[in-house]
Amino acid sequence: MKGRDGKLTVEDLTGGNFTITNGGVFGSLMSTPIINPPQSAILGMHAIKDRPMAVDGKVEILPMMYLALSYDHRLIDGRESVGFLVAIKELLEDPTRLLLDV
């Protein structure tokens, strides 16, 4: 919360980054990605598999992929990280939004 309090230094921001890891190519269904300093966050993407889902009161088989976001809570609040994950989910579910920037 140093950023919110206006106390970040150049050293706090140097070398930080965001990483995407794709364990799905190795068949991973779920994991918790580990942040390597000075990363601020890491998004883990996993294998897409058919799974049963309830849709309008009926069971349908749909492709699903788990996402996992690990982040440094000193830099990022939970509310913002959940909002980011929701945005990623919505873009993956409807990639035309990403291509058309809507």
79 — pLDDT class (breaks 50, 70, 90): very high
> Per-residue pLDDT tens for 27-71?
899 999 999 878 899 999 999 999 999 999 999 999 999 999 999
Strands in the chain per DSSP E: 18-22, 41-45, 49-55, 58-64, 67-71
Decide the pairing of beta strands 58-64 and 49-55.
antiparallel
Active site residues: 73, 77
Residue spans per domain, the chain = 10-100
Among residues 48, 21, 16, 17, the alpha carbon closest in space to that of 34 is found at 21
CATH architecture, domain defined by 10-100: 2-Layer Sandwich (3.30)
Dihedral class, residue 41 (left if φ above 0, else alpha if ψ from -120 to 50, else beta)? beta
- Supply the pLDDT for residue 48: 94
Q: Check whether 75 has a pLDDT greater than 70.
A: yes
Phi, psi of 85 (to 5 degrees): -60, -40
